[in-house]
Structures are given as C-alpha cells and as structure tokens.
Amino acid sequence: MTEGTTPGPQHELRPRQTPRSRRDTLKLAAMAAGASVVGAAVAAGPAQAQEAAHGSGRKPAFVVVPGSHGNAAVMTPLISALTRRGRTAVAVDLPGHGPEADYPLWYSTPQDLNALQNEVSSISNVRLADNVERVISDIEAVGHGAPVVLVGHSLGGATTTAVVNKVPHLIHRVVFIAGFCCSRLKSVYECVTSPEYATSKLKLVPPSADGAVVKANRFNWRTAEPKVLAALKEAYLQDGTDAEVRAALAGLQPDETIWVSFEDCSIRPEAWRRVPRTYIRLVRDQSMPIPLQNRMIADADATVPGRPFQVIDLDATHLGIIVSPQETAAVLDGLG
C-alpha cells in the first residue's frame, strides 16, 4: 500500500453521499436471496436477468475486493453496514485468502523468525488471472446475471481493474476506495515507485522477509515492536486507538501474492467506456497519498475521455473505512 511533492489534479470536493465449501455456501445463499426476483430470467440468459432485476426495482448487489493481506472477514464491518441499509453485499476471498489461507507454524508463538524469513510462501504461484477468475465467479453467483457494483480497496483495485477489463457487461458501476487504478502507470509496482507515492508512511515500515526469497509480500502483523506498531498506526489508522490498530492488524494474513503487484493491470478503454466509475479519495490516508490517488484518477480520465471518474472525498484513513464503516456504506449505498 505509499513521498510526492507534486500534487495531482485538483478535483472539486463533492458532498459526501450518503469448489470450496464456504464459497459454495455463499453462492447458494446469494442465489436463494435473489431467486424470487430473477430466478426465471437466469434460466433464460444474462440479458433477461438484467431486465428482470432492473425492472423489479431491485438495486444491484455489492461485491467488495479486499486490499493487501486482507480477506472477506476483514471487510465484515463494511459488509454489515451495507446489509443494514438493505443492500446485498459480499466480500471476496481471493485465492489463498480467508479459509484457504496458510498460517504457518512460524507465525504462531513462539515465532520461528528464521522460517519467517526463508520459508517459501504457499501462495507463491497465485497470479492476477487467478484473482480475476475468483471475483468473476462470485459476481455471477451474487448478481444472478445482473450487473453488480464492484468495489476495490487498496491493492484490491488492481484485481478490480482487471475484472472490468474482462466482464464489463457484469459491472453496473466500479468503485475504487483509495484503490490502485492503473492506466499510464501499468502496474502497482510502477505506482509505488512513482514520485507521487514518495510520502507514503508505509515506506517507513520494512518488510518482514525478502520477497525474492519467500516468493511473496510477507509481513509479521503479530509483531510487538513498538516502533513498527507506531509506524503502522501512522500509515493505516492514525486516528484510531492502539487497541483498534492491533485489532485491525490481527485480521490480516502474513503473505500476499507478489505477482499482482508486478503484472500489467491497466485499464482497457474499449471495456471501460461501458462502465460508470467512482473514485472515493480518503483524504487522511497516509499509506496511499492523495497525490497518487489524484494521478491515477487523472490518468484514467485521459485514457478513457468522455467518461471521467466521479470523485467523492471521505475524511477517513486507510483502514478507517473498516473500523468505522457507516459513512463509507452511506456513500456506496447512494451510488447504485
């Protein structure tokens, strides 16, 4: 997730607008919830399903792609806030995440720091295409053929972008929450090595292992080092209590696939011309600096002229949208 001295384009501030067993269970529950609206149309095909869903006044479902080291459980507060507003919403467990995640013995206490720094990750082979396949599967299950609102937070924006490239007809609207939206900067790696990323407080947090050795982005979220915890708080949740920071970090996994950060995940104009898009800037985000958020917005607008980002500002930190999700849920609810 990011020291730039050159600010990006200044957008007008807008008013805040208000098969694995677990995945199979999620799909069956989603299908049952929407069967009365689009059941017959699903059998007839996607076009009929979209017509049935929209004709009934049923609002599109939300499918949320978590950020780096995250999983569906981490996004539970936001999903719950959306469902309390009467919306259908699910978060995706990307391959090697959630129930599929590996929590090696070296990650338990007493920790084996030698293994932490040298053991090759169990998700070393997970690629961007694997993430895309998983998200599309969940979109199809939850949306029943009708388009969904696809939301990408942080690193989840890279997968989100690639999904829109592949299935724009299944996307009612795409939303980035301080997420990586690559266009002229082709990859997450190009974004985090750009001048606009230079002020990111995450640059003050050293990795727990050499990615070239362990074949993953690895971090020891269970560290008790006071300086590291203070730096993580400043980067992710500087307005939270120490207890809130530890609770937020406790849900993160030690390993994240390294390949998604290096693969080309830039937008394809022919697909993106078909999809309305919103960028939610987190104005107090110290891990994804506003200059980088601005640059990605401007680059995407230049790449797909005529369909610019709707830009909404939230007075929130990077993980604040999860710790205190009510305002984020209100904004999302107003988008579709």
Q: Which two tokens stand for residue 200?
A: 């990111």
Query: What is the reported pLDDT for 56?
Result: 52
Query: What is the reported pLDDT for 336?
Result: 79
Query: What is the reported pLDDT for 36?
Result: 29
| C-alpha to C-alpha distance for 97 and 328, rounded to whole angstroms | 24
296 phi, psi to nearest 5 deg:
-65, -40
| 142, 42 contact by CB (below 8 A) | no
Reported as a single tens digit per residue, the pLDDT across 52-89 is 444 456 899 999 999 999 999 999 999 999 999 999 99
Residue type, 255: D
| C-alpha to C-alpha distance for 274 and 319, rounded to whole angstroms | 30
Q: Which residues of the chain, if any, have pLDDT below 50?
A: 1-55
Taking Cα atoms as reference points, which of 15, 49, 45, 25 lies closest to residue 330?
15
Reported as a single tens digit per residue, the pLDDT across 220-275 is 999 999 999 999 999 999 999 999 999 999 999 999 999 999 999 999 999 999 99
| Cα atoms in the Cβ-side hemisphere of radius 13 Å centred on 276 | 9
Query: What is the reported pLDDT for 17?
Result: 37
Peptide bond into 226 cis (omega under 30): no
Beta bridge partners of 142: none
